[in-house]
Amino acid sequence: MGWFNYYGLGIVVLIMIPNIIYSIKKKDEFIKSNSRLLNILEQVGRYGSISFMIFNIPYTYFGFFFGSGLLVYLITNGVLILSYEIIWAICWNKYKKFKTYILSIIPSIIFVFSGIILLNIPLILVSIIFAISHITISINSINK
């Protein structure tokens, strides 16, 4: 795959489409935590995950560790992205609790899974930070 991951770029673009639409349609409904540290960790995790999905840093990225890794990577992420977008569309103005949980969990799984299957150390680290902070913020927003 080299230093640039075209597949990762495609995955990021597909994940971002619902987020861009949501931010345009519902500008004032962004979920944030009261904890400044948690918000910072989420942003570091988010932008780090996006960056390391696209750019591979030499000596920290080792690639697929089994023969059909690319196929598993594409199929798994394809199913997760399709699920994300279908659930997002179905739950647009409904099922707030379910929607909040699942739409924070799926991108977290995509980033963590991608880091592991690509043996991309920076992606694994920032995706774990993202997953923990993003899911925590989502859960806390529902329980208010």
Give bridge partners of residue 120 from the DSSP assignment. 61
Question: Are the C-beta atoms of residues 129 and 38 closer than 8 Å to each other?
Answer: no
Q: What is the mean pLDDT of residues 67-83?
A: 97
DSSP 8-state secondary structure symbol assigned to residue 33: -
Q: What is the mean pLDDT of residues 88-100?
A: 85
At 138, list the tokens.
């989502």
Q: Is residue 6 very low, low, confident or very high in pLDDT (cuts 50, 70, 90)?
A: very high
DSSP 8-state secondary structure symbol assigned to residue 42: H
At 126, list the tokens.
């920032």
Q: First CA to last CA across the chain, in angstroms? A: 44
Question: Are the C-beta atoms of residues 56 and 4 closer than 8 Å to each other?
Answer: yes
pLDDT, position 28: 65
Per-residue pLDDT tens for 31-68? 677 889 999 999 999 999 999 999 999 999 998 989 99
The residue ranges of every structural domain in the chain are 6-142
